[in-house]
Structure 1
Amino acid sequence: MDTNFIERLQSIHLTEEEGEVRKVRSENRAKILEEFSLSLMGRFHTTKPINFWAAKNLRRSVWKLGHDLKITDIGEGLMQFKFSMESQLKWVLNNGPWSFDNHLLLLKRWEEGMTTFIVEFNIVPIWVQVWGLPFDLINEKARKDIGGGIGRVLEMDCKAIAADQACFLQIRVELPLDKPIQRGALVLSPKGVRVQIAFQYERLVGLYFSCGKLGHEAKECLSKVSATMGERLYGEWLKVGV
């Protein structure tokens, strides 16, 4: 289903006969809603075709759920992952981002009333490491201040700070997909000193080095930055494996 078709559907003006409201009945609706409540909707962040069978088998293997995990290909790249328990679903959401063949898998929890027309994937939750802060600024408050400038802060790893072993901050944020990723920032210390910090992203895949965005091909990039213009602004150094 292409974008033009969806836009056309949404702009249709129904005739009087077409616009007559039709009540839809559903048998065992409570049970169906309960089953769907343990579902994630997913789509790979790429324009390339994906081997659905291989991707499905890999998810079952990596998530260690076997056939307890039901995966349905809804069409046009959209998938439904149905879990047996809430704890399984939350573990998958909290331990991403996940990927296949160097393509990010974007996930969103199912909501009542959701349709293929309105499912949007605008963010990816990801852990960000913040390097270069003065040691006296490596604290929980700094995590919130810095993380909020990257995306909505979801979680902070406080174990290293509690153990007095922190040499960088670690923040999990919702990274917006419509903007280039941030390479660093300037922070102002309590004494008014400006410090430049650098970011690294854990389990980051699909980064296009010419523009800093995720999940599209060179032919689709509108960035005017070219490899012939010298050193690229983005590179492998932004990634960190865990």
Structure 2
Amino acid sequence: MARFQNLEEHLAYLNIEEEETGDFIFGDEVEEQVNRYELCLVGRFLTEKNINTRAMTTKLADMWKPMMGVNIKEIDPGGPWSFDNAMLAISKIPQGEEPLNVPLWSLEIWIQIHDLPKGFMSEAVGRQLGDFFGEFMEYDMKNNSSIWVEFMRIKVKLDVRKPLKRKKRILRNNGTDFTVTCKYERLGDFCFAYGSVMHTERFCQKNIDNRGEDVQKEWGGWLRAPSRRAAN
């Protein structure tokens, strides 16, 4: 005669709690060798619009032209590379970090500093102005050393949570002053009422709070720098 009359009786005698709570130790030999993030980027489009993922993938692949192809995966659905005028905040993935946990609050962009007097086209000046308009990253020596130069060109990192800065008043040692203006290259959609690249006027809280009444717009399309080819 079998020890257990049926399956239910057999299961009643089983106790796997000890097995479940026992330690299971992995060594270095099981370190993941595939699907690692060293060669991966994570990004998000700064827009409230829906992005056509298939069209965006095709466009970025055409722009980047990677030799081994490109694989773009949408990890969080919803709504200076851009697509359909939506700017793309992009970052490398730190070692051991999950892509969804990478903060995407910065945007690298080239800016033009206009109305600089003669003698102020130096890299030292560019570094200070770069840290005012954002965070200084690079000085375009080729552009800024030309005898025909009309503006200083520098690359900065912007905090996309802050409004775009437009100008800066500078005081000379002799007590006189002048004001420089900033133009942003390849600047996508942004809000003219708040100066934010995170949304447009359609979704601006100022417009919502004023229920359609006219809101003072202190930013405008003049912040966009013309293409360098057109300027030349």
Runs of 5+ in structure 1 lacking a partner?
1-19, 79-96
1:131 Cα offset (Å) = 0.6
Q: Who is 2:190 aligned against? A: 207
Flag the 1:24–1:198 CA change in 2: closer, same or farther, 3 A: farther
Normalised by the length of structure 2, the TM-score is 0.77
Q: Who is 2:225 aligned against? A: 240
- Whole-angstrom CA distance in 1 between matches of 2:28 and 2:149: 55
Flag the 1:221–1:64 CA change in 2: closer, same or farther, 3 A: same
- Whole-angstrom CA distance in 2 between matches of 1:133 and 1:179: 25
Greater share of strand residues, 1 or 2?
1
Percent identity between the two aligned chains = 28
Q: Who is 1:9 aligned against? A: none
Letter paired with 1:241: P
1:167 Cα offset (Å) = 2.1
Q: Who is 1:3 aligned against? A: none
- Whole-angstrom CA distance in 1 between matches of 2:94 and 2:183: 32
Q: Who is 1:29 aligned against? A: 31
- Whole-angstrom CA distance in 2 between matches of 1:23 and 1:112: 22
- Whole-angstrom CA distance in 2 between matches of 1:21 and 1:177: 45
Conserved? CA contact 1:44–1:77, under 8 Å: no
- Whole-angstrom CA distance in 2 between matches of 1:25 and 1:175: 42
Q: Who is 2:58 aligned against? A: 57
Letter paired with 1:50: I
How many residues are paired up? 203
Runs of 5+ in structure 2 lacking a partner?
1-21, 228-232
1:49 Cα offset (Å) = 1.7
**Residue 91 (structure 2) aligned to one of 72, 84, 108:** 108
Secondary structure of 1:172 counterpart? strand
Q: Who is 1:48 aligned against? A: 49
Flag the 1:23–1:150 CA change in 2: closer, same or farther, 3 A: farther
How does 1:61-210 map onto structure 2 within 5 Å? 61-65=62-66, 68-77=69-78, 97-210=80-193
Conserved? CA contact 1:135–1:167, under 8 Å: no
Per-residue deviation, residues 118-170 of structure 1 (Å, max 9, x unmatched): 22211100111001111121211110111111111110101133333322111
Normalised by the length of structure 1, the TM-score is 0.74
Runs (4 or more) in structure 1 with deviation over 6 Å come to 20-28, 224-227
Structure with bigger gyration radius: 2
Letter paired with 2:59: L
Conserved? CA contact 1:43–1:77, under 8 Å: no
Flag the 1:221–1:172 CA change in 2: closer, same or farther, 3 A: same
